[in-house]
Amino acid sequence: MLNKPRKVMLIDDNEVDLKINSKIITISKLFDDIILCRSGEEGLSYLNQHVDNEAELPDFILLDIQMPEMDGFDFLEIYKKFPKSIKDKCLIAILSSTLDFGDIKKAEANPYVIKLLKKPLFPKELEEVLKKHFLM
Amino acid sequence: MNSSTIRVLYIDDEENNLNAFKAGFRRQYEIYTAISAAEGLKILENVIVHVIIADQKMPQTTGVEFFKSIVNTFPDPVRILLTGYTDIEALADAINHGDIYRYITKPWNDLELHNSIKNAYDAYKAKIDLREKIAELEKTNDELNRFIYSISHELRAPLVSAMGIVNVVKMENLFHSSGEYWGMIETCSNKLDYYIQKTLQYYKNNKLVHEKSPVDFKTIINELIELYSYSDKETHFTVDIIQDIPFYGDAFRIEVILGNLISNAIKYQKKEEKNKKVEIHIEVTKDIAEITISDNGMGILNEHLEKIFTQFFKSKTNHGSGLGLFIVKEALNKISGKISVSSNTIDGTTFKIIIPNVK
């Protein structure tokens, strides 16, 4: 079990969803701090910048699948190559509106994805996922 | 069709035959002649020929050998073999390996050869037409797949954002701040989402090939109940599943079938009923899974019972989409399952399903 999560990173190209989901997380008080990233590249460069600064790293990443250029799966391919210390600390859940069977199967099969959450995000569902992996 | 556009290649080592053929048929066809298989091949490489006539008995390469040699490189032209003596072995070889359309004996009869060429050309046309049709269908199929994919992404994504906004409004206690408008937006969004999901289910059911995988009914039923009772905690479920042996079937379709029935059982409860309940019973044997789903809901009128599985059938009182049970029936058809229903407006509805265990 990991300690109570403090920081969450939202990666989503959709401005509206970023706003909604950060609002939901703020109101439900599941995290103290939210890092907003408008693309997978932005998320990766944040992680790269803070590789050695644990305090700045997110405990949890909510990753969208459908994004232009680098999609969620491309992100995971690069994330795979990060040092173990980061991968052990930052857990990833997919947050997507997809109903595509192929995408769902692919997401569930990825070893770094602990859960596939469907939009719209419900705080209760998110909390249940967190409870399984963190001391809340 | 202008028959002069039919291009015929005739290969024969006897110059006289080539000349006779040209003289007899040049008015009807565009004729190419070759004195050997090698010469014939050169022509094939430069001209799109529809019909090839080859003499069997030629010095270097026989007609059959020539046809065999072009089976892969020039599969389209239709082949006619011409031979002066009846050589059964060559003939059998020709039919089995050279893809021969007709066999004609020498000396040829003009009318017979003429008819054969015409028929051969028709066969050529049919072959090419079929290929074009297949390509066209593959393209349509591809486009449909892309369309389905885009429904599940582009069309649904903004809708889901709107549903998310309604959630935030609820969390900020603003849901009743504008009369009933937020509630109306929520109802509309949910309805649209329901239609998108059902449309996708319908297409997937039609298109997906059968899949055989192990099915654990306990897991499926628990997941489905959790999913559909999310917005309705009042209904009480009694689940009784006897599955001691493995069941193999089409997991996607079974989920679609059970999901639609469970969501219906929750949706069509009597509003005033205090003790809303749904009972699910499943028994798996080595041949079948027998599933019963019964509720004490509003029931189905007797005169409607025969129509509930037809597309877009809706009763006036219950606001369904007319898609759920239609999809159930379609999915069952694909996996050779059966469904029966008994219902009345006092006790509620019971659906009984039998799905074969495909092992």
What residue type is B340 in one-letter code?
S
From chain A, pick out residues whose CB is under 8 angstroms from the CB of B204: 101
| pLDDT higher than 90, residue A113 | yes
Token pair of A37 as six digits: 């990233």
Please tell me which of the candidates B152, B172, B197 has its beta carbon nearest to residue A100: B152
Q: Specify whether the CB–CB gap between B102 and B119 falls below 8 A.
A: yes
pLDDT at B86: 67
- Residues in A closer than 8 angstroms to B158, CB to CB, are 16
Distance from CA of B281 to the nearest CA of A (A): 28
pLDDT, residue B123, reads: 94
Give the gap in angstroms from C-alpha B76 to the nearest C-alpha of chain A. 38
Structure tokens at B349: 């509805």
Is A97 in CB contact (< 8 Å) with chain B?
A: yes
The nearest alpha carbon in chain A to B152 belongs to: A99
Distance from CA of B252 to the nearest CA of A (A): 9
Angle between helices B217-228 and B251-267 (to 10 degrees): 40
CATH of B213-356, one of 3.30.43.10, 3.40.50.2300, 3.30.565.10, 1.10.260.40: 3.30.565.10
Of B160, B196, B200, which is closest to A119 when you measure between CB atoms? B160
Amino acid occupying residue B292: T
Q: Scanning the structure block, which residue is given the tokens 């007319």?
A: B322
Q: What is the distance between the alpha carbons of residues B51 and B67, in angstroms, rounded to a whole number?
A: 12
Alpha-carbon dihedral angle through residues B274, B275, B276, B282, given to the nearest 10 degrees: 180
> Which ranges of chain B have pLDDT less than 70?
1-4, 85-86, 231, 317-318
Q: Where are the alpha helices (DSSP H) in chain B?
A: 15-25, 37-46, 63-69, 88-97, 110-150, 156-171, 181-207, 217-228, 251-267, 324-334
Evaluate whether B217 touches B282 at the Cβ level (below 8 Å): yes
DSSP letters of A7-70? EEEEE-S-HHHHHHHHHHHHHHTS-SEEEEESSHHHHHHHHHHTTT-GGGS-SEEEE-S--SSS
CA angle B202, B207, B213 (to 5 degrees): 95
| Residue B113 confidence (pLDDT) | 94
Burial of A95 (0-12, 13-18, 19+ CB in 10 A): buried
Cβ-Cβ contacts under 8 Å for B264 (sequence gap 6 or more)? B320, B324, B325
Cβ partners under 8 Å of residue B40, min gap 6: B9, B11, B34, B52, B54, B66
3-state secondary structure of B230: coil
Q: Is A47 left (phi over 0), alpha (psi -120 to 50) or beta?
A: alpha
- Chain A: closest CA distance from residue B171 (Å): 7
Q: Identify the residue whose tokens are 């565009």.
A: B30
Contact: A16, B161; criterion CB under 8 Å: yes
> CB count, 10 Å around CB of B305?
15
CB-hemisphere CA count at 13 Å for B285? 6
Chain A with chain B: Cβ pairs closer than 8 A: 57
Residue A9 pLDDT more than 90? Answer: yes
Nearest to B164 among A27, A101, A119 (CB): A119
Contact B168 A66 (CB under 8 A): no
Q: Do A101 and B252 touch (CB under 8 A)?
A: yes
Contact between chains at B156 and A120 (C-beta distance less than 8 A): no
Residues of B in contact with A124 (CB under 8 A): none
**Chain B nearest-CA residue for A25:** B168
* Residue B197 Cα, gap to closest chain A Cα (Å): 8
Chain A: closest CA distance from residue B213 (Å): 14
Query: Where in chain A are the domains?
Result: 7-133
* A13-49 residue pLDDT tens: 999 999 999 999 999 999 999 999 999 999 999 999 9
The domain ranges of chain B are 3-108, 142-207, 213-356
Residue pair A116/A129 in contact by the 8 Å Cβ criterion: no
Phi, psi of B277 (to 5 degrees): -145, 150
Residues of B in contact with A97 (CB under 8 A): 153, 156-157, 160
CA-CA distance, B266 to B295, in Å (whole number)? 8
Ramachandran quadrant class, B149 (left: phi over 0; alpha: psi -120 to 50; beta: rest): alpha
Q: Which residues of B touch A24 (CB under 8 A)?
A: 164, 167-168, 171
Task: Write out the residues of chain B at the interface with chain A, using a CB-CB cutoff of 8 A.
Answer: 149, 152-153, 156-158, 160-161, 163-168, 171-172, 196-197, 200, 204, 252
Q: Which residues of B touch A99 (CB under 8 A)?
A: 152, 156, 196-197, 200
Structure tokens at B250: 């089409």
| Shortest alpha-carbon distance between residue A22 and chain B (Å) | 10
pLDDT for the residue numbered B342? 93
Q: Hey, what CATH topology would domain B3-108 get?
A: Rossmann fold (3.40.50)
Q: Which CATH superfamily is domain A7-133 in?
A: Response regulator (3.40.50.2300)
CA distances from B110 to B1, B106, B167 (A): 21, 11, 84
Contact at CB, A122 and B252, closer than 8 angstroms: no
* CB spacing of B168 vs A16 below 8 angstroms: no
* B260-269 pLDDT tens trace: 999 999 988 8
How far does A54 lie from chain B, in Å, by closest CA? 31
Residue B157 to residue A66, Cβ atoms within 8 A: yes
Q: What are phi and psi of B304, to 5 degrees?
A: -95, -15
Tens digits of residue pLDDT in B96-129: 877 889 989 888 999 999 999 999 999 999 999 9
- C-alpha to C-alpha distance for B259 and B147, rounded to whole angstroms: 24
Cα B180 to Cα B175: distance, rounded to the nearest angstrom: 8
> Strands A7-11, B78-83: parallel, antiparallel or unpaired by DSSP?
unpaired
Q: What is the DSSP string of B251-263?
A: HHHHHHHHHHHHH
Q: Are A2 and A133 in contact (CB under 8 A)?
A: yes
CA atoms within 13 A on the CB side of A99: 25
Q: CB distance A101–B161 less than 8 Å?
A: no
Spell out a b/e string for B12-45, using b for 16 or more CB atoms within 10 Å of the CB, else e.
bbeeebbeebeeebeeebbbbbbebbeebbebbe
Site of tokens 């599985």:
B309
Residues of B in contact with A121 (CB under 8 A): 164, 167
DSSP B125-161: HHHHHHHHHHHHHHHHHHHHHHHHHHIIIIIHHHHHH
pLDDT of res. B1: 45
